[in-house]
Chains A and B, each alone.
Chain A
Amino acid sequence: MFLEIRNIELFFDDKQVLAIDEILIKKGELVTLLGPSGCGKSTLLRCITGLEKPKTGSVFLDSEPIQFKPTKERNIGFVFQNYALFPTMTVFENVAFGLKIKKLSKEEINQRVFKLLDLVSMTEHAEKNVQQLSGGQKQRVALARSLVTEPKVLLLDEPLSALDARIRKQLQKDIRKIQQELQMTMIFVTHDQEEAMRISDRIFVLDQGIVVQDSTPDKLYQKPKSSFVAEFIGNYNKLDWKELEPYTTDDFIPKGNEFIYYLRPELILFREDSDTLAIPVTLKEQISLGPIKRYIFQTASDSEIMVDRLNNGSIPQTNFLYINKKDILKIPIKNV
């Protein structure tokens, strides 16, 4: 593997903030560290780059141990959430900063800086002071600055979270495109599951400093291993097992003390099908999510079930929701 992170343990005072067993990343892969605020994803990036010193653990980059190397010698690029551009410098000078440190010739610096500025569509702003730029432009400059030194890995710490939705989506596309063009290994940190799904080859979900699941975006959505992942990744319905009890069959026996039952909102049916359970409901609320319409139904035991459908203007005329038994996700309580 190109990047191997093993047995990382980090403590702040006496509190353990990271306990990573193993993260293995292939060359040219874009992986995302996903998790709620404070789960340790940014801290893990700082450990990889050497800005934090973990108590234990090893980091191998391209088969070379780097955990004892100082940050400046690790050849790892870092893009910060708040851009961290040098405010007294122009766009050009910011991007050239790392190259000047390497003492490259003026011609080479100029050539490489402008190639990168062109790559992030910022050439025309080269002479501007970075304080004159918008948030999206600043992040493009930050991206160019970290790529220009040709790092082996690029770490991006919530780089888009300070941007508005439109620019954010555009930059997601751009980052992915640049990553694929340069075949750059990238670790992207976000707390936004949609963003993670959109750009990643693989996603590592973190909770309280531990990797709780890693898989491809599709697998993660379809087969969450724990209650935490199911609730964090998608808008899973958490079903009350007592409501499922009347539908007990030989091959389906709801057990409230052993499992939690989840169901994705787009898999619930309005019409009866073979092998479906029927749950009596009343329509309580409709929420438009743009292309998707979310219907909130109330069950007899006062719990709520969400159903997602394409927003085509029709209103479901039904007093029952039908659930296919095979679509019900059973998560053992020990995994909660």
Chain B
Amino acid sequence: MKKSIVIMVLCCFGLYYFLPFLGTVLYASSTSWGKTILPDDFTLTWFSQLLSDQNFLEAVGRSLFLAGVVLLTILGLMIPAIIWIYLFAPRLNRLMEKLVLLPYAIPGIILVTALLQTYSKMELPMFLVLIGALFITTLPIVFLGITNQIRLINMRELIDAATTLGASKKTILFRVLFPNIRIGTTLVSLMVFSAVFGEYMLTNLLIGGRFETVRIYMLKRMNENGHLASAVVVMYFLLMTVIALLTFVITNRQKKKLWLKGQHSIKQCSISVKEGVTVENVLGNS
């Protein structure tokens, strides 16, 4: 396919994606927009109103808290489990690959009904039930993402190599395993965080009234004022963009650090390179 056609197709999809967002931004920045292509005025009233609304700030706080708790729970439980399955029970992997797809096969409403029926009578806090439900729905992202990363780097061989070089289990874990799944884990974390932060159905049906998240707040305000609801969407988008950028900045900084560390070692060793190598020198250290 010609490059120009590819660029044109990409531009079309880009516009398709970008225009509604641009429309939302403009709508959130105006007081009236009805008969003209562009809004009649420009204002930041809705944003300032939103940021001074205690309910909105609390909703953001709750969403962040919920996403953080789910993320920590799923990473804390699933990363060791995935590594264990890969290293010690590879046959379980096939079963897991099928199991983790179940959340896609079972509609959310069935999941909610089943959860409510099962746990409402057990006096289990619904917040815990929600975390469990969100854990299950985000499981495919975590399992498939991290498993693919482990396969890609051939983790088994890296562990064997480190073992033959005399590394302890702790060293292998912190210097070989974790650094090598860091990028995959970062991306997976971002996806889980974003999915939970913006989740509506499970949260609303399980504990909606008592735990108002950003999405629930947004839908509530949408019925009252469209401009304000648009401002919530824009704020939500900006928050996710900031989180994504922070994640990538941190990942790249770690990479850069690694590179600089290598450079530093080289400078320190420039003298020893000039000495040259003899068999006696090599064996002499033993």
Decide whether A and B assemble into one complex.
Answer: yes
Interface residues of A (CB under 8 A from B): 49, 51, 71-73, 76-78, 80, 82, 84-93, 96-98, 101-102, 106, 108, 110-116, 118-119, 123, 126-129, 145-146, 149-150, 181-182
Residue of B153, B179, B266, B282 near A116 (CB, 8 A) is B282
Which chain B residues (5-44) contact chain A, with CB distance < 8 Å? none
Task: Please give, as numbers and ranges, the residues of chain A lying within 8 Å of B166 by CB-CB distance.
Answer: 72-73, 98, 101-102, 149
Cβ contact within 8 Å between B165 and A118: no
How far apart are the CA atoms of A164 and B266 in the complex, in Å? 30
Cβ contact within 8 Å between A78 and B268: no
- 15 intermolecular pairs with C-beta atoms under 8 Å apart: A78-B161, A78-B164, A82-B154, A88-B258, A89-B258, A90-B262, A90-B265, A93-B262, A110-B272, A115-B277, A119-B277, A126-B269, A127-B266, A149-B165, A150-B286
Cβ contact within 8 Å between B286 and A111: no
Residue of B157, B165, B182, B265 near A101 (CB, 8 A) is B165
Cβ contact within 8 Å between A71 and B164: yes
Please tell me the number of chain B residues within 8 Å of chain A, measured between CB atoms.
38
Cβ contact within 8 Å between B165 and A145: yes
Task: Please give, as numbers and ranges, the residues of chain B lying within 8 Å of A51 by CB-CB distance.
Answer: 160, 163-164
Residue of B157, B259, B279 near A90 (CB, 8 A) is B259
Task: Please give, as numbers and ranges, the residues of chain B lying within 8 Å of A108 by CB-CB distance.
Answer: 285
Task: Please give, as numbers and ranges, the residues of chain B lying within 8 Å of A146 by CB-CB distance.
Answer: 164-165
Interface residues of B (CB under 8 A from A): 153-154, 157-158, 160-168, 171, 175-176, 179-180, 182, 258-259, 261-263, 265-266, 268-269, 272-273, 276-277, 279, 281-283, 285-286
Task: Please give, as numbers and ranges, the residues of chain B lying within 8 Å of A128 by CB-CB distance.
Answer: 262
Task: Please give, as numbers and ranges, the residues of chain B lying within 8 Å of A97 by CB-CB distance.
Answer: 162, 165, 167, 175
Please give the distance in Å from A30's CB to the nearest CB on chain B: 16
Residue of B179, B268, B269, B273 near A88 (CB, 8 A) is B179
How far apart are the CA atoms of A86 and B160 in the complex, in Å? 11
Cβ contact within 8 Å between B164 and A49: yes
Knowing that A97-B175, A112-B285 touch, tell me 7 more A-B residue pairs with CB under 8 angstroms: A84-B157, A88-B179, A110-B265, A110-B272, A119-B277, A126-B269, A181-B279
Cβ contact within 8 Å between B269 and A84: no
Please give the distance in Å from B190's CB to the nearest CB on chain A: 19
How far apart are the CA atoms of A26 and B32 in the complex, in Å? 91
Please give the distance in Å from B23's CB to the nearest CB on chain A: 43
Nearest first, the 5 A-B pairs at minimum CB distance are A90-B262, A98-B165, A84-B161, A78-B164, A110-B269
- With both beta carbons as reference points, the residue of chain B lying nearest to A181 in the complex is identified as B279
Cβ contact within 8 Å between A84 and B160: yes
The listed residue with most B CB atoms (<10 A of its CB), out of A114, A123, A129, A181, is A114
